[in-house]
Amino acid sequence: MAAYQRKRRFANQTRRDKDLDRLSGLPDKVLLQIISLLPLKEIVRTSILAIRWKELFSLVSDINIDDNNVIRKSLGNGYMNIVERFLFSRKRDVGIDKFRLKCGKIVDPFRINGWIQYALGYHVKELDLTIGIKGFNELNFGVFTCKTLVILRLSMDKGSILSVPTYFRLPNLKVLHLGLMKCSDDGSVDRLFSGCGSLEELHLRNCEVSNMNKLRVCNATLKKLFLSGFMGTDHEIEIIAPNLVHFSYYYTGTKGFSLINLNFLSEARIYIGPYLFSTIDFAPTATALMNGISQARSLYLTLYSSKPILLTPGLVPQFPNLTYLNLEMGGCLPEWKILLANSPCLDTLFSGSELESHNNGRDETEKVPGCLMYKVKTIKLLSFQGKPFESQVVEYLLKNAKVLERFTVRLSGKKRLRTKISKEIKPVCLELRVSHDFIQNLSQQIASIYTSGHYTTTRYQVKEQQRNMDLKVGRFRLRDS
């Protein structure tokens, strides 16, 4: 018995040893990826685990320096010394793929450029700099001339001025992120974009342009452009990007807009806040923006206004290539009709926000839009609250969408009633959190539409209280959540 217990203990111990050593059995490449995800101090601590780990410690190619992990400012000198010992203990023949530096008040500003120069000397490919030191304007000159740099993310403290040198060239840069900074003048901006001969993706976030007359983005290779949160309203925006396929714009304020030659635009995401609509003469700027994206194939539109601004004459242009429309704007039915009437190829209509009822909204489109009758196959309305004017929208869409294949409605509100699927509507296809009364009303609407012969797609069976009838509709789904 004692011998059996000893064998069992020995087997359990062997199994535990194998489990403990499982991490060491991984290839060096995998271990390096795991180590790279750790904070810098934890990376340094792994060097004392074993001789093999000490070697791995010196082979790390993804470096993450973040002083947010330092609790007290008095520990700043110790942290900076750890950073420098780590940098100088790396093997010299190992390059740097990614160098991320995020620092605030703890790091000495004079050491920042030294660390950046270290990364540039090791042919860094991705440089991510978030410098929250007030008044830091002396960025290392080598950042603007690095030939190996592919991705550059630069975010500085508000009020920091970015002065682009006369000789600026990043020949292999494909992705550029700029945030929370102020360019010294219009010339700096022109040099910044013209010096990136391979740029494909540009992000400008919360940049101050109050000292500029025009923000001009001119680049022939640019494919994705993201603009958001500019500080200052006395500037103009001009975009010349003939190969642009994605444009995202979060509007805060500008006095002029010009989008030139966006003929290959595939997707546009536009958010215009209430600031524009509070100005007296918002129409020219908004019209120029809408005209500039008129070639888009997919449009995500968010407009926050207490007025039916899409009814402004000339504001909505023709969208000849638009096949997908996502309205995160609410709006009223007349506004929807104008958008549909100007989108002859529309295939999918999606709305994720609450509809609005504008008493002063005039319906300028008496004729049913052609895309609704002959093109639209999918409609999703995901923020209905069961109000009367919302039911009118459902009725309008169902009556006129003759080739509709899928229609999804989901109710939302303060009272999210969850009821069982009505036994009278087995067919069904509307994804709803909805009350029983609304289901009955909707079933009656669908049944009345069936009698007019609008739908001829898929056969379902609707069971009413006194009689059975066949209902030919698209794919309607009703699901109790």
Per-residue confidence (pLDDT) for residue 79, from 0 to 100: 85
Pairing of strands 236-240, 214-218: parallel
pLDDT digits (tens, 9 = 90+) for 11-49: 565 555 555 556 777 888 888 888 888 888 888 888 777
Q: What is the pLDDT along the chain (481 residues), one digit of tens a residue?
A: 566 566 566 556 555 555 555 677 788 888 888 888 888 888 888 877 777 777 787 888 999 998 887 767 777 788 888 899 889 888 888 999 999 999 887 888 889 999 999 999 999 999 999 988 877 778 888 999 999 999 999 998 776 777 788 888 999 999 999 988 777 776 777 888 888 999 999 998 888 776 777 888 889 999 999 998 765 566 788 899 999 999 999 866 677 788 988 999 999 998 876 555 555 466 788 888 899 999 999 999 987 766 777 878 888 999 999 999 998 766 678 888 899 999 999 999 998 777 766 554 445 446 889 999 999 999 888 776 666 677 778 778 888 888 888 888 776 654 443 343 233 323 333 433 333 344 455 555 555 544 444 433 333 333 332 222 223 333 444 433 3
pTM score, two decimals? 0.79
CA-CA distance, 392 to 223, in Å (whole number)? 41
**Which residue type, as a one-letter code, is found at position 127?**
L
